[in-house]
Structure 1
Amino acid sequence: MSMMSIRAATPRDREAIRLVEEHAFGQQAEAGLVDALVTGGDAVVELVAEEDGQVVGHILFSRLFVQKGAKQFAAVALAPLAVEPSFHGTGIGGALIREAHVRLKEAGETLAVVLGDPSYYGRFGYTHARAEKFESEYQGEALQALAWGDAPEAGKLVYASAFTALAA
């Protein structure tokens, strides 16, 4: 029986991560976003899941800021989460999220934001109610947040510049 393991992504994983992202999303946009976030120094936590030595899953949390007046509060954005289609439904995505959350909390992060399926991300504590007061071009039911401590409940979400390039 094979064993799935989760570890921090390394530079040698770049091509495997690109392939997982392209296979999971059926396009290159998310892989390009990952490259831009990593190259731009915006990655906070980046993990891969391996099965029999092959990268089959990937998660990236990048730096995000909540702007409240003249103050900025550091937070993180979960984007993207990808699992090879042949491994969907095996729990790899959830394992990546849980492990990333442990590492984020240990690093002192207090707020994570995601844009995704509420029924999926809700299983990990993300809610739209926690994100509904944030000003964002992505505001809607899919915008969800999870707080682990003293984190702002309102303000403007300022994503890494790579997200702006993705939307262009």
Structure 2
Amino acid sequence: MNLYYRIFWSTVLILASILTTNKTILASTKNTSLLIDSNNNNSYKSLVEKAENLAKNTINQEFKNNPEITEITITILGERQSQIVPILRSKISRAEWQKNAEIDNLTRYFADAKYLLKFDNDNQDTPKTQPQTPDSSPQIPAPPPPSPNTQPIVPQPSKKSPTPPTSKPPIFPSDEEDSEIDD
């Protein structure tokens, strides 16, 4: 009877470990990408604030609705004038979120998105004007055109034929000279 008792409990323990292992496997990471339309935004700053609020609300909702999720990676994309660019990406665990529900420290902001979405003239509060030049600004006269007498001199090819070389061709020893040198 002792043998059956041991087999029973070892089977129960094996099944319990398998079930708890599968439970930890079910805990997962969720990757989410969301797109916001930024054609109506006047500034890049307001677009980033809108993206941060959307990320916070989405993370809060995912952790509340899905208890098996242990970590969320969320990417907020912005669309403006047919350009789609990532604005921010947050990666946060459930423990970090419960400790502090702010994503600022755990978020990567894509600074180039401002220029890719053509927010580079972000000072729309003040209209950009071209600096006015006074009418009495000094005028620099253009240089005078060259006169016909001052045409550049272009070297002309010489009409002489080249002179033949004055050096003598090299003299190589012949077989006849080699026969004179006998020991």
Please confirm whether the aligned pair reaches a TM-score higher than 0.5, indicating the same fold.
Answer: no
TM-score normalised over the length of structure 1: 0.21
TM-score normalised over the length of structure 2: 0.20
Q: Which has the larger radius of gyration?
A: 2
Structure number with higher relative contact order (C-alpha < 8 Å, ≥ 6 residues apart):
1
Q: Relative to total residues, which structure has the larger strand share, 1 or 2?
A: 1
